Amino acid sequence: MPDVKEPDQLYKMRHSLAHVLAQAVTKLWPGTLITIGPPIENGCYYDFLFPQPISDADFGAIEKEMRRIINQGQTFRCDTLSVTDAKKFWRERHQKFKVELIDDLEKNEKVKEVTHYANIGPKGEETFVDLCRGGHVENLKEIPADGFKLMHLAGAYWRGDEKREQLTRIYVVAFPSKDELKAHLAMLEEAKRRDHRKLGKELDLFTFSDLVGPGLPLWTPRGTMLRHLLDQFVWELRSAKGYQRVTIPHITKKELYEVSGHWQKFANELFHITTREGHEFAMKPMNCPHHTQIYACQQRSYRDVPQRYAETTACYRDEQTGELHGLSRVRGFTQDDAHVFCRQSQVKDEILAIWHIVDTFYAAVGFGKLKVRLSLHDPACPEKYLGTPEMWKRAEEALREIAIDRKADFFESLGEAAFYGPKVDFITKDSIGREWQVATIQLDINMPERFNLSCINEKNEEERIVMIHAAIMGSLERFLSIYIEHMAGLFPLWLAPVQIALLPVAGTHEEYALELAKELREKAMRVQTMGSDESLGKRVRDGEKMKIPYLLVMGDREVAEKTVTVRNVKTKKQIAVSRSEFIEKTLIDITTRMLEASIG
């Protein structure tokens, strides 16, 4: 039997399981219309138009039927049909979505034939057929019957079009063994506990308003403090490398994006604005075209480059409502964006400087070693990219050479490049094992051409420059969705919106608490006083729920001896220290950006 843990075999297993799901559903609910069912990370899904509503209460019956199908050891048969015969086949079965898919294949891919995969039962009978390109197990018994689980239902518009039919999507997780499934489900439970939407509300970091609109987060004072501290750290690192701040407007004329190429690629994803005079503008979805115009505002000499511009600014994209998700997919987001305009000979040094910023930042906020993906263009799909094959080859070789020289842990991925150039994408793993792409460095070989950006070289000739895009967090919203979950809301002391809570045991101790609060604030520490109106136990629980790193308890002894009893919320340990010692050690932890608070 093939090894299901091999990537190709795991893909086939999950793809085949999607067919098993569809077979089970159509048996249990005759008349169901079937659409598509691709394998995805950790499993598969299938979209159906049911004749009647279903719920997760039906999952048990579906799983039981799926296991019956698997245990029969059904196999697959591939049939090739002409487009005409295939459309006739599906019309006779009243499966209009399959007919539409074949129409699209005929129109867009100019196919004359399509393939069907039929499930064959133990007696040679045909039990299910689907329009499919293939990639299946030889026998369904290769799918572990205890290695999958139906997870949840979701709504999905046909072809992603809100004006079309709303389908029911059934998600399945599937693994090569029961133990791996069990581990994945445990990880999902932990992820639910860490969900940034839940923690964001509990920790009073951000909110959404129906009056403002979906996908447009509003940041509270605590959340804004967290954003500011992270952004300020990025700026410190950039400033040390010679970056300068710039500021641009939030809208632009359509023509800017026509020159850059963004209009042709992303016009449907932009918020459009028409002025009273009939001029067409757009809310900016990115910042790079604006920054080109700052560079282009005057003639530059080779002595003037590199020009390094940095800006943290809001961008806007018209995402579909159904695709919005907390902070990770929004319509209004903030980028810590930077662009370097330099000569080709300066590219390596500039990218290495950015790389150093990335490594320093992610170590300081508590992520482990970063993996690197060289995101290259797909030569088989040249229509997706700007520029010539020669330009792409030169740019990709430059990035590959830098990664090799730096001895980076990198891999290459075709088709992941931006439409204007290849990228170095940094990938981190969070505390429960999920991988995320975070920072990115992009080498742009096209925008300088499109905007005619150059410098005057030593020979007094115009020399085409190159452009480097650099995002450390990228979207602050998306980064924080990852970071909140990675830290489970318990941020390092230097980043915590409230670093210290003061808990006087009784009213007689409040004067001492207020005196200490004043001293701590004068040293730029972020302090909250939790008065003695409620019991000490409840206030300790409230402080822990708010993930405040240090809870300082003050009673008779602390007041008399000028000490504090420090409760470290992460370790749960309590220790009595002098007031001066607490202040000294805490200041060191904050200014050196220590990941672990040293007291307790």
Q: Which residues of the chain have pLDDT under 70?
A: 1-7
Q: How many domains does the structure of the chain reveal?
A: 3
Instruction: Say whether both 313 and 186 belong to one domain.
Output: no
Write down the catalytic residue from 116, 196, 238, 339: 339
* Tokens encoding 73: 């050891």
Instruction: Assess whether 442 and 504 both reside in one domain.
Output: no
Alpha-carbon span 157 to 149, nearest angstrom: 24
Residues 6 or more apart from 191 whose CB is under 8 A from it? 432, 434, 485
Residue 598 lies inside a defined structural domain of this protein = no
The confidence score (pLDDT) of residue 7 equals 67
Angle at 469 between CA 465 and CA 474, to 5 degrees: 170
> Is 112 annotated as catalytic?
no
pLDDT at 582: 96
| Chosen domain end from 191, 211, 233 | 191
How many other β-carbons are positioned within 10 Å of the β-carbon of residue 223? Answer: 21
Domain boundary among 191, 226, 250: 191
Known active-site residue 409 = no
Residue 599 lies in a domain: no
Q: What are phi and psi of 568, to 5 degrees?
A: -80, 115
Claim to verify: residue 414 and residue 269 sit in the same structural domain:
yes
- Asked, as a colleague might, if the bond just before 289 is cis with ω within 30 of 0, I would say no
What pLDDT score was predicted for residue 1? 47
Which of 425, 457, 487 marks a domain boundary?
A: 487
Catalytic, out of 335, 430, 455, 589: 335
- What is the strand order of the sheet 272-274 is part of? 251-253, 280-283, 272-274
Examine the domain organization and report whether 85 and 216 are in the same domain.
Answer: no
Residues 393 and 518 in one domain: no
pTM: 0.85
In this structure, the dihedral spanned by the alpha carbons of residues 280, 285, 287 and 292, taken in order and rounded to 10 degrees, is -40
Quick check: is 132 catalytic? no
Strand bridging mode 39-40 / 148-157: unpaired
The enclosing domain of 553 has a CATH number of 3.40.50.800
- Rg (Cα) of the chain, in Å, rounded? 29
Any domain includes 557: yes
Specify whether 327 is located in the same domain as 428: yes
Regarding whether 527 and 402 lie in a shared domain, the answer is no
Q: Are residues 403 and 468 in the same domain?
A: yes
Instruction: Kindly state whether residue 227 falls inside one of the protein's structural domains.
Output: yes
Identify the active-site residue in 132, 288, 342, 455. 288
Is 288 one of the annotated active-site residues of the chain?
A: yes
The reply to whether 162 and 232 lie within a common domain is no
CATH number at residue 362: 3.30.930.10
* Residue 317 is among the residues annotated as catalytic for this protein: yes
Predicted confidence at residue 383, as pLDDT, reads 82
Per this entry, what is the length of the chain? 600
Residues 178 and 311 in one domain: no
Domain boundaries, position 233: 201-487
User: Of 141, 122, 127, which is closest to residue 13 (Cα–Cα)?
Assistant: 141
Q: Which long-range contacts (CB under 8 A, 24 or more apart) does 516-524 make?
A: 516/552, 516/554, 516/564, 516/579, 519/583, 520/583, 523/583, 523/587
Whether the Cβ atoms of residue 474 and residue 335 lie closer than 8 Å to each other: yes
Would you state the structure tokens that stand for residue 249, as one six-digit string? 């407007």
Q: Give every CB contact of residue 592 below 8 A, 6+ residues apart in sequence.
A: none
Is residue 468 domain-shared with residue 560, that is, in the same domain? no
Q: Are residues 587 and 455 in the same domain?
A: no
In a domain, 597, yes or no: no
Residue 220: burial class (beta carbons within 10 Å; 0-12, 13-18, 19+):
middle
Residue 492 lies inside a defined structural domain of this protein: no
